[in-house]
Amino acid sequence: MPSRTVTLANPTGLHARPAKVFAQAASASGHQVRLTKGDTTVNGRSVLSVLTLDCHNGDRITIDVEGDEAESVLTSLVELVESGLGEHEAGS
Amino acid sequence: MSAARLRGSGAAPGVAIGAPFVVEPPVTELDDPGPSGPPAAEKVRLHAALVQAAAELHAMADRMRSVAGEEAEIFEAHAAFAEDPEVEEQAAPLIDAGRSAVAAVAAAFGAFRALLAASSNDYMAARAADLDDVCSRVIAILSGVRRGYDLPEGRSVLLARELTPSQTAEIPRDRIAGIVTETGSPTSHAAILARTLGIPAVVGASGVLTVAAGASCVAVDGRTGEVHVEPDADVLAALTARAAEEEARRAELSAASDEPGRTSDGVAVELVANVAGRDDLAAAVAAGAEGAGLVRTELLFQDRRSEPTVDEQASYYGEVLAAFPGRRVVFRTLDVGADKPLPFVAREPEPNPALGVRGIRLSLRRPKLFEDQLRALLRAHAARPGGGVTGVMFPLVSRVDEVVAARSELERVAGDEGVPLDSVEVGVMVEVPSAALAAGRIAPYVDFFSVGTNDLLQYLFAVDRLVAEVAELTDVCEPLVLDLIAHVVDNASAHGTWVGVCGETASDPEVAGALVGLGVRELSMVPGALGEVKDLLRRHDLSALRSVADAARHAPDAAAARRILARLT
Contact status of A17 with chain B (Cβ, < 8 Å) = yes
What are residue B411's phi and psi, to 5 degrees?
Answer: -65, -40
Helix axis angle for B39-67 and B69-82, nearest 10°, is: 170
**What is the rounded CA–CA span in Å between residue B191 and residue B168?**
10
Q: Look at B309 and A92 and tell me if their CB atoms are within 8 Å.
A: yes
Determine, yes or no, domain membership for B253: no
What CATH number should be reported for the domain holding residue B306? 3.20.20.60
Considering only residues B36 and B121, tell me which one the structure prediction assigns the higher pLDDT. Answer: B36
Q: How many Å from the N-terminal Cα to the C-terminal Cα in chain A?
A: 32
Cα→Cα distances A51→A23, B360, B428, B445, Å: 10, 36, 41, 49
How many residues are present in chain A?
92
Q: Look at B86 and A48 and tell me if their CB atoms are within 8 Å.
A: yes
**What is the rounded CA–CA span in Å between residue B91 and residue B44?**
12
B85, B121, B312 member nearest A89 (Cβ)? B312
Domain count, chain B: 3
Residues B326 and B424 reside in one and the same domain:
yes
Work out the percent of chain A whose per-residue pLDDT is above 90.
51
Contact status of A90 with chain B (Cβ, < 8 Å) = yes
**What is the rounded CA–CA span in Å between residue B272 and residue B490?**
22
Residues B228 and B345 reside in one and the same domain:
no
pLDDT score at A91: 37
Considering only residues B77 and A92, tell me which one the structure prediction assigns the higher pLDDT. Answer: B77
pLDDT score at B149: 43
Encode B411-426 in three state secondary structure: HHHHHHHCCCCCCEEE
Beta bridge partners of residue B272, listed in sequence order: B524
Is B362 exposed, middle or buried, given 0-12, 13-18 or 19+ CB atoms closer than 10 A?
buried
Pairing of strands B226-229, A3-7: unpaired
Determine, yes or no, domain membership for B228: yes
How many residues are present in chain B?
569
pLDDT in tens, A32-61: 999 999 999 999 999 999 998 988 888 899
Is B24 exposed, middle or buried, given 0-12, 13-18 or 19+ CB atoms closer than 10 A?
exposed
Determine, yes or no, domain membership for B185: yes
Domain A3-82 has CATH 3.40.50.720: no
Residue from B4, B22, B18, B6 nearest B216 by CA: B18
Determine, yes or no, domain membership for B32: no
**What is the rounded CA–CA span in Å between residue B323 and residue B340?**
29
Residues B455 and B535 reside in one and the same domain:
yes
Residues B400 and B485 reside in one and the same domain:
yes
Beta bridge partners of residue B325, listed in sequence order: none
Determine, yes or no, domain membership for B461: yes
- pTM check: above 0.80: no
**What is the rounded CA–CA span in Å between residue B549 and residue B201?**
37
Contact status of A1 with chain B (Cβ, < 8 Å) = no
Domain termination site, one of B143, B177, B199: B143
Q: Choosing among A15, A22, A51, A85, which should be mutated to test the B contact, i.e. which has the most B CBs within 10 A?
A: A51
Residue from B83, B94, B1 nearest B39 by CA: B94
Pairing of strands A60-66, A32-37: antiparallel
Which of B36-40, B173-177, B397-401 comes out lowest in average pLDDT? B173-177
Is B322 exposed, middle or buried, given 0-12, 13-18 or 19+ CB atoms closer than 10 A?
middle
What CATH number should be reported for the domain holding residue B134? 1.10.274.10
Residue of B nearest to A59 (CA): B305
pLDDT score at A58: 85
Q: Look at A43 and B86 and tell me if their CB atoms are within 8 Å.
A: yes
Residue from B26, B58, B66 nearest B190 by CA: B26
Phi-psi region of B478 (alpha: psi -120 to 50; beta: other; left: phi over 0): beta
Q: Which residues of B touch A59 (CB under 8 A)?
A: 305
Give CA angle at B508 (B503, B513), nearest 5°: 100
Which of B45-59, B154-168, B338-352 comes out lowest in average pLDDT? B338-352
**What is the rounded CA–CA span in Å between residue B398 and residue B433?**
8
A11, A45, A56 member nearest B85 (Cβ)? A45
In sequence order, the 6+-apart residues with CB closer than 8 A to the CB of B276 are: B296, B299
Residues B421 and B481 reside in one and the same domain:
yes
A20, A46, A89 member nearest B85 (Cβ)? A46
3-state secondary structure of A3: strand
Work out the percent of chain B whose per-residue pLDDT is above 70.
92
Q: Which residues of B touch A14 (CB under 8 A)?
A: none
Chain B nearest C-alpha distance from A49 (Å): 8
pLDDT confidence tier of residue A88, bands split at 50, 70 and 90: low
Span B235-248, mean pLDDT? Answer: 86
Chain A nearest C-alpha distance from B104 (Å): 17
Residues B69 and B214 reside in one and the same domain:
no
Residues B319 and B392 reside in one and the same domain:
yes
Residues B8 and B108 reside in one and the same domain:
no
Q: Which domain holds residue B16?
A: 4-24+149-243
Catalytic residues of B, by residue number, are 189, 502
Determine, yes or no, domain membership for B318: yes
**What is the rounded CA–CA span in Å between residue B314 and residue B536?**
37
Determine, yes or no, domain membership for B373: yes
Residues B87 and B236 reside in one and the same domain:
no
What are residue B397's phi and psi, to 5 degrees?
Answer: -70, 135
Domain termination site, one of B216, B243, B270: B243
pLDDT confidence tier of residue B306, bands split at 50, 70 and 90: confident
Is residue B498 within 8 Å of residue B430, measured between CB atoms?
no
A31 is a catalytic site residue: no
In sequence order, the 6+-apart residues with CB closer than 8 A to the CB of A70 are: A1, A2, A31
Q: Which residues of A touch B85 (CB under 8 A)?
A: 27, 43, 45-46
Beta bridge partners of residue A62, listed in sequence order: A5, A36
Span B198-220, mean pLDDT? Answer: 89
Domain termination site, one of B143, B160, B183: B143
Is residue B321 within 8 Å of residue B381, measured between CB atoms?
yes
* DSSP H or E segment with residue B10: strand B9-12
State the complex-level ipTM: 0.87
Determine, yes or no, domain membership for B251: no
Residues B360 and B485 reside in one and the same domain:
yes
Pairing of strands B226-229, B4-7: antiparallel
Q: Which residues of A touch B124 (CB under 8 A)?
A: 15, 51-52, 54
pLDDT score at B514: 97
Q: Which residues of B touch A52 (CB under 8 A)?
A: 112, 115-116, 119, 124
Residues B209 and B349 reside in one and the same domain:
no
Residues B269 and B131 reside in one and the same domain:
no
DSSP code of B488?
Answer: H
**What is the rounded CA–CA span in Å between residue A91 and residue B447?**
34
Using the predicted structure, report yes or no on whether residue A84 has a pLDDT greater than 90.
no
pLDDT confidence tier of residue B1, bands split at 50, 70 and 90: low
pLDDT confidence tier of residue B188, bands split at 50, 70 and 90: low
Using the predicted structure, report yes or no on whether residue B68 has a pLDDT greater than 70.
no
Buried b (16+ CB within 10 A) or exposed e, A14-53: bbbbbbbbbbebbbebebbbbbbbeeeebbbbbbbbbbbb
A15, A20, A49 member nearest B123 (Cβ)? A15
